[in-house]
Every structure is written in structure tokens, then in C-alpha cells.
Structure 1
Amino acid sequence: MSTDAAASGRRTNRRGRSTREAMLDAAVTALASGEPGAVSANRIAKEIGATWGTVKYQFGDVDGLWAAVLHRTAEHRGELPYRENNTAPLPERVAEIVETLFLGLTSREARAIEHLRAALPRDPAELERLYPQTAAELASWKDKWARACQKAFADLDVDPARVREVAAFIPGAMRGLVSEARLGTYSDLDEAQRGLTNAIVAYLGGT
């Protein structure tokens, strides 16, 4: 390959990556708005001056686009707070996880995922049939979250079965608190977070 051809290829690849990132940014922005019709690949493409053909080239189809959006937000979300040789006691670790989840679920990307999931089929079999890549990405979140929770308490004398149960319910519980914050509430949300933290600590501590 000539030098000119190689340079042209690099420019093309950079343009392609730039287009892909622009589409993912537009997708998150549109989804986070919660507006009617926001869950539309055509609308997202038009917002950056692209075509459906560009969506197909970059992601294959709408399933590939939604899977890429989910994967990107997962990368930005990162891992649970975890430190090697962590000496923090159980209550501090649980409180940190609760606070991290609350802040994460109030983010723009969290709103985007919430609206996307609301538009997808509820039945897992139907989701897997119509959006196999999206379903696989969502399923991977569950496994990664469960492993992260086990890792966060691995050095403590905590029943792994109870950690799995906490991992199963705490995302929904935190979404409830975030919903209260968005809608407005007479409840003291700081007190609610403390109560949830204390309940989890008591359960994991075997009391």
C-alpha cells in the first residue's frame, strides 16, 4: 500500500470513528430527553446529518445501535467502588455503594437507558428474538453487577447467597429513591438512603 493510500485509510477510519461517536452521543442525548419518538435510529441519524445507510454501516441495524449505546454507557459507568486491601468496615462499604448507585442513576446516561429499556419488549424471549445483541448486552450487566458485589465484600465474613440477593434487589430499590427525587417528595431522601444502608448491613451481617 502506498503512503498516500495508507494516509487516506487513516483519515477514513478517523472519520468513521468520529461519525460513530457522534451517533452514540446523539443517541444518548435523544434518549435522555424522554421525548416521544426519541427511541428512533432514523431521528438520531438525522440529528447529526447522517442517513439510515450510515447507521447500517456503523452498527449493522437498530439492534446493533442500541447494543452499542448500552455498551458505551456501561464503560462510562465503571466499576463499583473497590480498593485493594480495603480495610473499611461493612457499613462504610454499603453506604459507598448506595451513594454511588444514587449518583449514577441520576445521570444523563442513566435517564437515556431508562427510556430505551421502557421502549424495548418486556418479555425476555421477545427481546432476545427481536434485539439479540441488545438483550445480550443487558444480560451481561446482570452478571457483571453480581460479580462486582461479590468482589466488594469478598474479604469479609459475609454469606455469598445474601450478597446475591442484595445484588438482585438494590438496583430497583435505588431506582425508587431516584424516582422520588425526580418527582419531588416530602420524604427525607438522605434518611431513606441511611435506612436502606442500615437494612442491608443488618442483613449481610446476619443480624
Structure 2
Amino acid sequence: MTAGADQHRRNRRGDATRARMLAAALECLSSGDPDAVSANHVAKRAGATWGAVKYQFGDVDGLWAAVLDHLEERRGGPLSFPGSADDAVEARVGQIISALWRGLDSPDARAIDTLRMALPRERAELEQKFPRTAEALASWQVSWVATCQAAFADLDLDPERVREVAALLPGAMRGLNSEAHLSTYSDLDLARHGLTRSIAAYLGESSGEGRS
């Protein structure tokens, strides 16, 4: 066997090990168990040692950053919302809200939420202790804002209002999603419809659509 072929085989084995560790990390995190946010727990689930995890990712910060990057790659970057300039603002807002609603109960969303719950709340502390993870989370936020901007790019809307809506929607939808998992008399379909109409009206005020 040539040196090149041997190196290729080692690289493939290393890639397979890395993929197995990322899958184990996602399986742990998506369980929702706070104790799952442990590199040793992930290593045990992957059938590896902490030393093997360090070899692949450097440290726990590198592991969590790699998990977030992996999820971003799997998602395929910013969501797309096909439409034309003739589409009403409300229709596009409805598409975004529906996409968020569907995604919030996915294993990937649970994994991200479990990880975020275990990370420092303060940005300065997060960036100090987990700089690579903080960078990956910031990248997700940039991608989300870009998604919202792209959804309305061909309409005459106030860009600052679009950014405000992008900042509001994830938290608002998580609140409705939490309500869905509790005993409630709330009509969540009605709530989503009201949220859609309210945001569309707010955005439409910055264009001719919201004025008669």
C-alpha cells in the first residue's frame, strides 16, 4: 500500500470518527436532558474516550461549535421563501411563522435549546469561556436575519422594521411552542394567525400596502 493510500484510509477513518461523535452529541442534546451537555457524556455515547474527542475538536468549546456548524450545514443555510412581488406581506410572514412552528419541535431544535440552556447567559462570559461556540451562535443569528431580509427584499419595506421582526419572531414562537406543551385553553392557531396579521400590518405601514 502506498503512503498516499494509507493516508487516505486514515483520513476516512478520522472523518467517520468525527461524524460518529457529532451524531452522539446531537443524540445527547436532543434528549433535552441538561446532564447531556457534557463532553464526557458525549464521548461515552460515541464509544470513545475524552482524549479522542479532544483530538477531533480540541476542547469542549470546539465540540459545541462543530455541532452548531454541522447543523447549519445540514439545514443548508438560510431558508428560502419563494414568492413574487405580487405576494402580500401577510403571506410571506405566514410562511416564515409556519416554518418556525414546524421546526421548533424537531430534534435539531431541541438540541440547540438544550445546549443554549447550559451556556452562560451573559454575552461577555459566553465569548470568554466558549469563543468558538459564541461565534457559531452569532453566525446562526446572521443567517436568520438574512433569511428575513431575503423574504421581503423585493418589497418596499422599512429595513429596520424587518430587522426588528427578525429579532422578535424566534422568541415569540418559542413562547407559543412552550404553551403548546402545557395544559392550556389558548387557541394557538388563532394566536399564530393574530401574530401573522399583526406583524404584516406593522411591516405594511412602511410601504403602500398598509395605507388606503
TM-score w.r.t. length of structure 2: 0.91
Deviation at 1:81, TM superposition (A): 2.6
Q: How many residue pairs align between the two structures?
A: 205
Classify the secondary structure of the residue corresponding to 2:36.
Answer: coil
Q: Which piece of structure 1 moves more, 79-88 or 18-27? A: 79-88
Deviation at 1:77, TM superposition (A): 2.8
Structure 2 residues not aligned, in runs of 5+: none
1:12 to 10, 13, 16: 10
Whether contact under 8 Å (2:65, 2:132) holds in the other structure is yes
Instruction: State the match for 2:73 in structure 1.
Output: 75
Instruction: State the match for 1:42 in structure 2.
Output: 40
Deviation at 1:202, TM superposition (A): 0.4
User: Structure 1: which amino acid aligns with 2:135?
Assistant: A
Instruction: State the match for 1:95 in structure 2.
Output: 94
Deviation at 1:36, TM superposition (A): 4.1
Whether contact under 8 Å (2:165, 2:199) holds in the other structure is yes
Deviation at 1:85, TM superposition (A): 5.0
Offset from partner CA, 1:124-160 (integer Å, 9 cap, x none): 0000110000011111222221122111101011111
Structure 1 residues not aligned, in runs of 5+: none
Q: Distance in 2 between matches of 1:34 and 1:85?
A: 39
Whether contact under 8 Å (2:81, 2:95) holds in the other structure is no
Q: Distance in 1 between matches of 2:25 and 2:148?
A: 29
Whether contact under 8 Å (1:81, 1:96) holds in the other structure is no
Classify the secondary structure of the residue corresponding to 1:122.
Answer: coil
Percent of pairs identical after alignment? 59
Deviation at 1:76, TM superposition (A): 2.4
Q: Which piece of structure 1 moves more, 77-86 or 114-123? A: 77-86
Q: Distance in 1 between matches of 2:188 and 2:80?
A: 21
Q: Distance in 1 between matches of 2:83 and 2:9?
A: 42
User: Structure 2: which amino acid aligns with 1:204?
Assistant: L
Instruction: State the match for 1:61 in structure 2.
Output: 59
Offset from partner CA, 1:144-181 (integer Å, 9 cap, x none): 21122111101011111110110111110011111112
Instruction: State the match for 1:119 in structure 2.
Output: 118
Offset from partner CA, 1:52-76 (integer Å, 9 cap, x none): 1111111110000000111112222
Instruction: State the match for 1:169 in structure 2.
Output: 168
Q: Which piece of structure 1 moves more, 168-177 or 185-194? A: 185-194
Instruction: State the match for 1:152 in structure 2.
Output: 151
Instruction: State the match for 2:127 in structure 1.
Output: 128
Q: Distance in 2 between matches of 1:86 and 1:19?
A: 47
Q: Distance in 2 between matches of 1:80 and 1:87?
A: 20
Deviation at 1:189, TM superposition (A): 1.5
Deviation at 1:18, TM superposition (A): 1.0
User: Structure 1: which amino acid aligns with 2:30?
Assistant: A
Classify the secondary structure of the residue corresponding to 2:48.
Answer: coil
Describe the shift of the 1:85–1:9 C-alpha distance in structure 2 as closer, same or farther (beyond 3 A): farther
Instruction: State the match for 1:143 in structure 2.
Output: 142
Deviation at 1:186, TM superposition (A): 2.2
Whether contact under 8 Å (1:81, 1:97) holds in the other structure is no
Instruction: State the match for 2:31 in structure 1.
Output: 33
Offset from partner CA, 1:97-144 (integer Å, 9 cap, x none): 000011111110100110110000001000011000001111122222
User: Structure 1: which amino acid aligns with 2:190?
Assistant: E
User: CA-atom RMSD, angstroms?
Assistant: 1.5
User: Structure 2: which amino acid aligns with 1:57?
Assistant: Y
Q: Distance in 2 between matches of 1:191 and 1:77?
A: 29
